[in-house]
Every structure is written in structure tokens, then in C-alpha cells.
Amino acid sequence: MARHGFSCGIMAVALVLSLVYSSLVVPSSAELQKLEHSIKDDGSLSLLVVGDWGRKGAYNQTHVAAQMGKIGKELNIDFVVSTGDNFYENGLTGITDEAFEDSFTNIYTAESLQKQWYSVLGNHDYRGDVLAQLSPVLQGVDSRWLCLRSFVLNAEIVDFFFVDTTPFVDHYWIDTEGHHYDWRGDLDSALEASRAAWKVVVGHHTIRSVSIHGDTKELHASLLPVLKAHGVDLYVNGHDHCLEHISSDDSPIQYLTSGGGSKSWRGVFNPSSDKLRFFYDGQGFMSLQLTKTAADVVFYDAFGSVLHRWRVTKELHSSI
């Protein structure tokens, strides 16, 4: 949509979707909203993961986006996952904020990226009008955009559990340091029983990290036990502006950080008690390819170079 028609288009869509909007933002204490996405005819699924990106093209965001387009074409991706902090520094001011186009629509222009984007909220998103990012009105501006607080995405061989992690973190609400965080509603973070071959949880905040933010203690206390109890395979996050792969020492969980969508190079490294497989303190993104029995993770830098590959396989057992 052209810039001059941006506001008019939004308001027209707003009138049509206002009732839908109301139903989406009302939290449910019973169960998470469920979405579905088909897989390829050969039974595989491929996607890209990027986080901490929305800077109107600055800090190499455009370079990362260009390489995402190339890799997306090579892998014939099915969709893109955003791990939050979608719009810097302070989220969106509302559904007519031009930052939505400037940081999203006009940046990720490659044909291969014209797929559904599934997004979670980050702490910087909460500094603005958080309901704007959740509004289906934005889907009328760019149909790729889909952001909810917490939801489940089923893609036959895998269940993705998208979790809004910001409400877990105490200091955002106790010591705001002059920032306002827009939090309305409750979070139902329970993960439902899943029969999918793979279970992937996506959140913004780190559980394990060797970079500047490090481990998030609240997620260790509240979320990690749930992940372990339900046999989650991968926890995928942003928040730290880097790329990481850490293996849990006491469970099969792999911690994958993809927060290098724009501003990076923090210059901080703090060793983890778990096994560090890969760390890159710079811009980039991640791909994930899945079949029923194998998962392939690849990290790329802003030039599209492969930095790290990792594969895991599993045997499937018939359910009784």
C-alpha cells in the first residue's frame, strides 16, 4: 500500500475488523488460541527466525533482510518467526504508526519473505501501544503480519508454543527506570499436551544466554519447569542481540537465540553452566528445517555466511 493511502486504508479495515480485534485481545484462562499451518507435500517444514529487528533499516537490518530473502528462497520457507522487539525503541504509537511500514513492510521485500510472519512481543514493544501490534487491523495493511500474546501453531509434525514472556519479568513492573510498559490482561502460559513429533517454544526473553542479558531468573522459576515436564525440544528466543546455541545439561532442551536482526555487537560474554555450542556477537538470523525424525538448525550472519550447523534426530514411537 502506498504511503499516502496508509492511514485511510487502516481506518477502513478498522471498521470491518473491530469486532474481531475485541475477540482476539481478550485473554483466555482455559487454553491458548490454536492456529494451523500446512507442511510441504514431502512432509517437511522450513522457516526462518529473526529477532530484535525493527529499526527502519538501520544497524544492518536491511543487510540481514536481504540475506533472509536469499536463504528463504533456497529453503523454500513456509513462514517466518519473529522473536520480539519488533519496533524500536518504544514499540508502535498506534495502528497508524508509519514505523510499521518503515521497519517491516518496506524492509522485508524479498519474494521468499512474502509468507506468514508469526510474532511474539518483546519488552521494547511493551513500551508503546502494545495493542496496536496485536490488532488485526495491521493485517489489512500487510497480510503477512500476525502477532498475539500467546498461542499455539500446529504444523502437523510440530507444535510451536508462542509465549509472551515480558509479563514474567519482575523489574519491568517494579523498577521501570522512567519507561512505561503497556500491559493489559493476563497471560495463560500453560503448554497443552501435544502429540506432535516436535515441540518448540518461542519467547522473547532468554532462558540461557552468555551475552549481556544472561539468564532470565523468572523464566527459570516459572517457565522452564513446564518446558521440561512436557518434553520440549527447542526454546527459541531473542532479547540478546546475538546468535547462540546452548544445550541443556539436565534435559534434551536446546536454547536457540536469534536476536541479531539489527543492532548487535554488545561485547559481552559470560560463560554458561550448560554446554555452549555456538555464540556470535553480531547480526544474523536462523533457519529451522523439520521432518518427523530430524531437525536441522543453521545460523547465518548479515552476509549470508553459515556460522553454525546442528542436527538432531529422533525415533518415533506409536502412541497407545
**Residue 42's Cα: distance from chain center in Å?**
26
Distances (CA, A) of 154 to 36, 201, 262, 281: 5, 12, 29, 32
The CA dihedral of 291, 40, 235, 233, to the nearest 10 degrees, is -20
User: Which letter does DSSP use for residue 190 in this model?
Assistant: P
CA–CA separation, 189 and 290 (whole Å): 25
Which residue in 317, 192, 189, 200 sits closest to 254, CA to CA? 200
Catalytic residues: 213
Q: Which residue has the cell 499451518?
A: 37
Q: Contact at 8 Å (CB) between 83 and 256?
A: no
Annotated binding residue 63 = no
123 assigned to a ligand binding site: yes
Residue 85 in marked binding region: yes
Residues 150 and 31: beta-carbon distance below 8 Å? no
Q: Residue ranges for the binding site for Fe cation?
A: 52, 85, 88, 123, 204, 239, 241
Q: Which residues are annotated as a binding site?
A: 52, 85, 88, 123, 204, 239, 241
